[in-house]
Amino acid sequence: MQPEDAHRVSEIEQICFSRPWSEKDLEEVAVKTDALYLVAEDTDAHDVAGYVGAYLILQEADINQVAVAPAYRRCGIAMQLMQDFMQKVSARGITEVTLEVRKSNSAAIALYEKCGFQTEGIRKNFYEAPTEDACIMWKR
C-alpha cells in the first residue's frame, strides 16, 4: 500500500468496520517499517478492491485489517491477499501470524482456516458497535 491508496482504503474501512481507521492513520501506516499493508488493485478500473494490513513485531505479524470492497467480493481476492501476505512475511523471517475476528463472522473464519489459522482463544467483548467476542486465531 502506498500513501495515495489511503483514501480508497479508508472508504472500504468505512463500509466494513464499526470502528474504521482514518485516512490519515492509513497514510501514516503505509510508510511504517514495522507494518506491512498490501492492496489488491483492479487495474482496469484504477481502484483498490481490497487490502490486508499488519504490524510486524520480531518474528510475529499481527493482522489488524482484512477487507474487500462489496463490488469485488466472492472473487477470491481475500484469499489471494492472504496468500501474498503470508509469502511476504515468511520471506521476512516471520514465523507466527495472529489476528482477531468477530465470533459471528463465519465467512472470515472459514477463510482464515483455509489459510491454516486455528482458533486458540476468545477475547470477551472485544468489539464494539455491536459488542461481541473475538476469536483469537494463530498460524504458527
Average of per-residue pLDDT across 64-73? 95
The better pLDDT of the pair 63, 44 is held by 63
Percent of the chain with pLDDT over 90: 95
Residue 43: band (very low, low, confident or very high) from pLDDT cuts 50, 70, 90 = confident
Active site residue 100: yes
Percent residues over pLDDT 70 in the chain = 100
- From the candidates 37, 72, 112, 127, which is the catalytic residue? 112
For the full predicted model, state whether its pTM sits above 0.85.
Answer: yes
Contact 56, 89 (CB under 8 A): yes
Angle at 132 between CA 5 and CA 82, to 5 degrees: 40
List the end-to-end C-alpha distance of the chain, in Å, as a whole number: 25
Element containing residue 43 per DSSP (H, E): none
Q: Where are the domains of the chain?
A: 3-139
**Mean pLDDT, residues 111-117 taken together:** 97
Q: How far apart are CA 106 and CA 111, in angstroms?
A: 9
Catalytic residue among 13, 27, 37, 100: 100
Question: What pLDDT shows up at residue 46?
Answer: 84
Give domain 3-139's CATH superfamily. Answer: Gcn5-related N-acetyltransferase (GNAT) (3.40.630.30)
